[in-house]
Amino acid sequence: MNDDVCVEREIELEGSAAELWELVATADGWRQWLVDDAAIEIEVGGVGEVVDDTVHRHVRVVQVEPERSLTFHWWEHDDPSSVSEVVIGLVGLPGGGCHRVHIVERPLQPLAFARSTQQSMWEVRACLLALSVHARARV
């Protein structure tokens, strides 16, 4: 994989590992910040589909470490060459109650990857994740 086309984001959020895991590792959680619609079971080997700003994507879950890390591949429905790997990791911060969410997306076929578009989308997604956490805290 070519790290020159890798998109990487980190955000620090208040919340327990269980609360944040629900947002990053469930279809309901994904619908709050990652995609418009999701139909997938988050388990190793799980496959499904998501809709992201009218783009239909296939998803395959590669690795799950509960409350720590999720790795999946996704690609546009009509373009299997657009496959990329996404790793979402949770790391507890000293003092408890806060976590660092680390997100990396790497194309598995770099020539098919539109870096500027992906960077912008992850900026938006990071903001939506933060808003989801804050909204839950107020309920």
In the chain, what are the domain boundaries?
3-138
**Is the pLDDT confidence value at 116 over 60?**
no
Please enumerate, as own/partner, the contacts of 123-126 that have beta carbons within 8 Å and a separation of 24 or more. 123/9, 125/9, 125/33, 125/34, 126/9, 126/11, 126/101
pLDDT at 124: 73
Q: Tens of pLDDT along 62-102? A: 999 999 999 999 999 888 888 999 999 999 999 888 999 99
Task: Please give the model's pTM, rounded to 2 decimal places.
Answer: 0.80
Which has more pLDDT, 82 or 20?
A: 20
Domain 3-138 -> CATH class: alpha beta
Predicted confidence band at 119 (pLDDT cuts at 50, 70, 90)? low
Predicted confidence band at 120 (pLDDT cuts at 50, 70, 90)? low
